[in-house]
Amino acid sequence: MKRKKENLSSGRKSLQYRGTKCLNCGHPLDRSDVYCPNCSQLNSDKQLSAKDFFGEFISSILVYDSRLRKTLKDLLFCPGKITRNYVEGQRLKYANPFRFFLSVSIIYFLATGLINFFTPNEEIVSRNSETKIGFNAMMDSISANTSRTISYADSINKEKPLKYYSDKELDAMPFTQSYKERFSLYNDFYEKHKIKNAGIALDSLHHRNTAVNRWVYSKNTTVEKISEDPTEFAQYLITKIPFFLFFFAPLFALFFWLIYSWKEYTYMEHMIFIFHIFSFIFLALLIAIIPDLLIGSKFFISCFFLFIGPFYFYKALRNFYQQSRVLTLLKFVFLSTVFVIGLTFAATIFVVASVAIY
Ligand SMILES: [Zn+2]
């Protein structure tokens, strides 16, 4: 490949085109400099020909391509090796871990979105939701809760009038109770009058038209929107997962940092390890989708979550941190527990926060 690159740009590299000043950054250059030591642009004042231009373009693709190939190969087949090499200084060999994670997750969601779009039958929709790390279960419980509140509101409508509180009375209550009562009052009011405009509703309730009150009132429509179409909300949640993991990673890295601190890895290096693991998860899911789709079951996805995923995580820990089997196994159990509990906890907050801004 090196020779190919040489051929493509040999003309521009020749001595007759070398200058004494970098055309890109103005750094003083020697005639012997092939590249600028400051910004690494080629030292050449030759006018750009089509051949030069496309040559540069193709060689940049080839470099990117080889970087991508190395990243994929090491990430998929040598657990922990990529992080070890990267942390030890082999940066240019691999793609940037954060950018790579975002790219892979974006491709994953585009691919699942496409599959959902082209095969909108019941079975595949439910299968894909299950791959999405239990979010569907959470959605079900949310919509179950919503329908409960609505039927509760219905029974209120039939049996007794609104239980009215004034703004002052609500303010006097303890914080959580105040929010609960305010929400159920607004919910009852909404169920009864179906007024969508928060300003008008607050006015007829004789409540202050503040941003908080408008927000609490507007959640009525959100609840209705979600219970009418839970899948749409699930889709909305799912597109936010990469960003959610992005914010979850620093928290998770804290536990790595706690139990591996003596090994003198920096916090950032633990983060890189975690992002490599996350990237592997999305890559493996992406790979498992195709055979699962063909045989019409969740065999490969289940295999991944039950065997391949945990095994890979253990191997990556052992190869990257290089501790004994027993120690690695103990830390593997600890970190997996933290991962599951932490993810469940963070996901709950994430779902609640998503409802708040949906
Ligand atoms: Zn320069």
- Chunk the chain into consecutive blocks of 10 residues (it has 358) and report each block's average pLDDT, rounded to whole numbers: 44 85 91 89 85 80 81 92 90 88 87 74 46 48 48 48 79 83 84 81 85 82 75 72 80 88 81 93 86 81 86 93 91 90 81 75
List, in sequence order, every residue forming a beta bridge with 42; answer none if it has no partner: 35
CA of 91 to the centre of ligand 1 (A): 21
CA dihedral for 329, 330, 332, 333, sign (positive or negative): positive
For the chain, what is the radius of gyration of the CA atoms? 28
Residue 83 confidence (pLDDT)? 92
22 CA distance to ligand 1 centroid (A)?
A: 5
Dig out the tokens for 246 from the structure: 């992005």
Q: What pLDDT score does 162 carry? A: 67
The 10s digit of each residue's pLDDT in 52-104 is 888 878 877 777 778 888 999 999 999 999 999 998 888 888 889 998 998 88
Answer positive or negative: Cα dihedral of 51, 92, 251, 321: positive
pTM for the model:
0.63
For residue 240, report the phi and psi dihedrals to the nearest 5 degrees: -90, -5
**Ligand 1 mean position to 26 CA, how many Å?**
6
**Residue 126, pLDDT score:** 46
Ligand 1 centroid – CA 185 distance (Å): 67
The one-letter amino acid code at 158 reads K
Contacts 24+ apart (CB under 8 A), 331-336: 331/259, 331/260, 334/255, 334/259, 335/255, 335/256, 335/259, 336/310
Q: Are 225 and 240 in contact (CB under 8 A)?
A: no
User: Measured between alpha carbons, how far is 243 from 103 in angstroms, rounded to an integer?
Assistant: 12
Mean pLDDT of the chain: 79
CA of 10 to the centre of ligand 1 (A): 19
45 CA from centroid of ligand 1 (Å):
13
- Residues with C-beta atoms within 5 A of ion ligand 1: 22, 24-25, 27, 36, 38-39, 41
Residue 196, C-beta contacts closer than 8 angstroms, at least 6 positions apart: 221
Question: For residue 147, what are its two tokens?
Answer: 């329908």
How many Cα atoms within 13 Å fall on the side-chain side of residue 75? Answer: 28
CA–centroid distance, 97 to ligand 1, in Å, is 27
- The span from the CA of 92 to the CA of 64, in Å, is 10
CB 23 within 8 A of CB 45: yes
Q: How far away, in angstroms, is 60 Cα from ligand 1 center?
A: 18
pLDDT at 73: 92
pLDDT of 150: 45
Give ∠ CA 155-158-159 in degrees, rounded to 5: 85
Q: How far, in Å, CA of 99 to CA of 108, rounded?
A: 14
**In whole angstroms, what is the distance from residue 28 CA to residue 21 CA?**
4
What pLDDT, on the 0 to 100 scale, is given for residue 271? 92
In this structure, how many other beta carbons lie within 10 angstroms of the beta carbon of residue 327? 13
List residues bridging with 28 in a β-sheet.
Answer: 21
Give the C-alpha separation, 52 to 55, whole Å.
5
Q: Looking at residue 262, what DSSP letter applies?
A: G
- Residue 140 has a pLDDT of 53
CA 92 to centroid of ligand 1, rounded, Å: 19
Cα–ligand 1 centroid distance for 13 (angstroms): 15
Helix segments in the chain, DSSP class H: 2-13, 50-77, 81-87, 97-118, 122-131, 135-159, 167-172, 175-193, 198-204, 211-228, 230-239, 241-260, 267-295, 299-303, 309-321, 325-357
Per the DSSP assignment, residues forming a β-bridge with 228 are none
